[in-house]
Structure 1
Amino acid sequence: MKKLILIAVAMLLAVSLPEFVSAQKYSSLDKSPADIAYFRPGGRNSQPVAKVIYSRPQKKGRKMIGAKEPFGKIWRVGANESAEIKFYRDVTFGDKSIKAGTYTLYAIPNEDKWTVIINSKIDTWGAYSYDQSKDVARVDVNVEKPSKEIEAFSIAFDGDGAGNGKMYMAWENYQVAVPIK
């Protein structure tokens, strides 16, 4: 009898398990997919200096910087969750000393310069709970025009093997570069 009950339970599980698994809900692809940019000055296998986790909104025919993301207003740098930057060691970001750690990355875009902000309040969505009193550094950088229009907001690094480089942020016809040492 015990064997019969075990066989019945096993058959019931075998029939219902596929239904349970297929009933799971998975979200569709985000309209502003998440991405990661690493600063590894010595190449792919070297120790990182910095890492940025951010979402990549796309222009899709719209005017973004100066319109949807207004000039002179705090911006989360990307979309969705506020971008986070992790420094694996103490660095100079622009002309400001930053201790190793994880921070939120914001910007105030303007037509000719952006103020790039490192803030200690992490795990935030958007810039809705931005708290200026938590700013660790503010760095003003001049706007450059990229060689071609950038459809999806992008962050990239370049640098030398000594750990000196730049963090680039670009979207549409706007590009800024923050020196990192």
Structure 2
Amino acid sequence: MRDPVRVTAALLAGCALALAGCTADPPEPPDPAPTEPDDGRTAAEEPVRDYLDAMRVKDVEQGRAQLCPATQEIFDASATGPGGDFAERFTVPRTQVVDTRPVTVGFEVTATVTVAVADATTDVELVFTVTPTGEDGWCIHDETSSSPAADSTEQPADESGGPPADESASVSAD
């Protein structure tokens, strides 16, 4: 027969150990999975977002401020012209950055811009090349349209026979 004192002591010791596990501080949760390091994408998108906002409200100076200095002269000559991003003949009701990818000189930031002339609207894809300024900032070095005019059936045409709205002047410092 077992010694009742020993059995009781063993049971009490087991209960004490079990209770100690329940009252101890819970283990620290594991650190969240590491996120992808910011390689500059977010910062490179900022001047593009600011430029797109400037297009929407037709703020030429704000748009110009997002460009690299070598690009500003070209911008000044074409921004408000018939095919320019700030032309009065069309509005820009919506814009959206849709892709950012690294390139040799910085990043290419692709945006979809909805352009409206009278009752016609079309989506235009603009590709901005954004380069570092050397001051922990970024500026737009180049802008091109990757939306061929012939692909859209709702293409707003310029009444003067000029280019459609998505043929915005390419701004480049090349």
Would you call these one fold, judging by a TM-score over 0.5? Answer: no
| TM-score normalised to structure 1 length | 0.29
| TM-score normalised to structure 2 length | 0.30
- Greater fraction of residues in helix: 2
Larger Rg: 2
- Greater fraction of residues in strand: 1
